[in-house]
Amino acid sequence: MNPGGQVDPQQLAELYRAAILENAAAPCGHGRDIEHTHRAVGDNVLCGDVVDLRLRVTEGVIEAAAFHGESCAICMASASLLCRHLEGRSVAAVGTTRDAFEAAIAQGEGGELPEWLQPMLGVRAYPARTQCALLPWKTAGRALADSA
């Protein structure tokens, strides 16, 4: 990071590539069957991504997260990060993280974004692909707004 809290663009590009490769190659939660309390399906018609997100929530805490569907590497990596890091967190944390991620992509800085999600900010270099990265998070928001 630079002194102003900004990630060096070259460093961000390298982190982004690594996050995409790692999470798309072995996505956390993909194809995992869980007993869920909340579920939503999201799609990105421009890219062809389809994410069927399933969450098990007890007393406001996400106990398990999984997803099914076919998607590009960016969407797959984003969904993997969601499943890896939201288990054990409160439902409110999903909305806060989603809002911070959307704002960081739109505004170009990730000050409020958790460190584990910051490598995904490299998607800003590809504006047509930002919706691929956001799809799992928007789908999670819809899943939590509706019960299974």
Domain-located, residue 2: no
| CATH code of 107's domain | 3.90.1010.10
Helices (H), the chain: 9-25, 73-86, 91-107, 130-145
Residue 38: predicted pLDDT? 97
Residue 14: predicted pLDDT? 77
Residue type, 88: G
Domain-located, residue 134: yes
What is the extent of the structural domain holding 125?
Answer: 9-145
Domain-located, residue 91: yes
Whole-angstrom Cα distance, residue 131 to residue 77? 13
Whole-angstrom Cα distance, residue 56 to residue 133? 22
At 71 the three-state DSSP class reads coil
Contact criterion met (CB below 8 Å) for 8 and 1: yes
pTM (2 d.p.): 0.86
Whole-angstrom Cα distance, residue 105 to residue 83? 20
Domain-located, residue 31: yes
Determine the angle formed by the axes of helices 91-107 and 73-86, rounding to 10 degrees: 140
Domain-located, residue 128: yes
Domain-located, residue 70: yes
Number of domains in the chain: 1
Whole-angstrom Cα distance, residue 44 to residue 27? 19
Whole-angstrom Cα distance, residue 18 to residue 35? 31
Domain-located, residue 4: no
10-residue mean pLDDT series, the chain (148 residues): 55 75 86 96 94 97 96 93 94 91 82 84 88 95 80
Burial (Cβ within 10 Å: 0-12, 13-18, ≥19) of residue 77: buried
Domain-located, residue 3: no
Residue 1: predicted pLDDT? 44
